[in-house]
Amino acid sequence: MKLFGSSLILSGTALGAGMLAIPMVLAQFGFVLSLVLMLIIFIGTTYATLLLTEACTKTETSSGLSSVALATLGVKGKYAMNLFFYMLLLCMMVAYSLGIGDLLHKLFLSFGINVANPICYSIFSLLMGVIVISGKSYIDKLNRVLFILMVVMLCVVIASLFSKINLGYLTQTANFTLFDLVKYSTVIFTSFTSMVVIPSLVEYNKDATPKQLRNMVLLGSAIPLLCYLTWLFAIVGNLGTDQISQFNHISELIAAFSGHSLLLKGVISVFSALALVTSFLGVSMALYDQNRDAISEHKGLCFGLTFVVPLLLASIFSNQFVSMLDYAGMILVFLAIWGPLAMAVQVRKPQHLLPESSLIYTVSGGNIGLIMTFFFGVFIFVSWFVQ
């Protein structure tokens, strides 16, 4: 159950961004082309996540990325990875806070109460912070409940929407160029990357076998892919490319279903909120562990760095949900692709001292896998500059 719960944490960390951002950025390309792009990015990100898992099992301390980077890349590598890691997690924390604030604001408005977005996401963030600092077992148990509830909501939504699918919408595309396709690859890349929780999960499952760790990552990566494809199929099939391409906020996507039924709109609202909450839990857990690993063990200080600082940034970058995910995608190239690649290269060298434990994992694929991972990172890196 720990391994299954860890897979759900891995999945939940990815799903918050993707379930809400993917329809808004991929609809213009149609379902088939979006499917191909998602499969390519899924394979690249999953392999890179396995490389990071390998690096974590081949170092003595893997509670945080800082320790793993120090053991594999040295002091300079540690500082570089810490910089990218903090930038990424802050971008994602800000994005999820803004998304949650938008949803809670609309929820209160439906009851005739006008609560400002900053107040909504501040209260939520601080409450989640109490759970995160309580320990991983609490996060695991809460995340299982939320994730299962989210899947139930997704099934209800899909069942409702599939009866109204317009197959003509699925082949419909807006006017776009190859540059447009490459341009949005960073947002999709961000939606598939949940490697930030890998050091925490490897430490949490330190008695797991290499096969179990591999399956944990594969399951945790495959669930988002299945959910994204089903979700995109249902959304595009119901609303069409032209309408979805005009959305900029989560609440606009939800409001588009007001003509279907109030119940469906309510279910989608709850589902969207759960997707963001599970992602917020995973990312905040990773940031909290990173702060404890790299800065201080003091809970009060780590709480402030993990939850108060992102709130201040969210007030500055208001109404920038998709943009923050885009920035995160640029940072992720170094952190989630080239970083694990460099670590895997180091731990495979004969002079690297492996831990005494026999529970170490090596990703299959050899040098070909490493080379392909490097060029996958180049593709994502270049795609950001196309913008």
- Domains plus CATH for the chain? 2-385 (1.20.1740.10)
CB atoms within 10 A of CB 61: 15
| Alpha-carbon distance values, 240 to 35, 137, 167, 181 (Å) | 16, 42, 10, 18
- DSSP codes joined into one string, 115-144: --HHHHHHHHHHHHHHHHHH-HHHHHHHHH
Burial letters 288-314, b for 16+ CB under 10 A, else e: bbbbbbbeeeeeeebbebbbebbbeeb
Which amino acid, one-letter code, is at 370?
A: L
Return d(Cα 302, Cα 157) in angstroms, integer.
38
3-class state of residue 158 by DSSP:
helix
Report helix angle 30-57 to 339-347, nearest 10: 40
> Which of 114-118, 370-374, 375-379 is predicted with the least confidence, judged by mean pLDDT?
114-118
| Alpha-carbon distance values, 51 to 200, 285, 347 (Å) | 15, 21, 10
CB atoms within 10 A of CB 74: 12
- Cα R_g (the chain), whole angstroms: 20
pLDDT at 344 over 80: yes
pLDDT at 372 over 90: yes
Task: Provide the pLDDT for residue 135.
Answer: 81
Task: Provide the pLDDT for residue 160.
Answer: 78
Between 113 and 254, the higher pLDDT residue: 113
Convert the pLDDT of each residue in 21-80 to its tens digit: 677 777 777 778 888 888 998 999 999 999 999 988 888 776 677 788 888 888 888 888
Give ∠ CA 208-213-214 in degrees, rounded to 5. Answer: 150
Return d(Cα 44, Cα 365) in angstroms, integer.
13
What confidence category does residue 177 fall into, taking pLDDT thresholds of 50, 70 and 90? low
Convert the pLDDT of each residue in 258-301 to its tens digit: 666 667 777 777 877 887 888 888 888 888 888 887 788 888 88
pLDDT at 322 over 60: no
CB atoms within 10 A of CB 133: 19
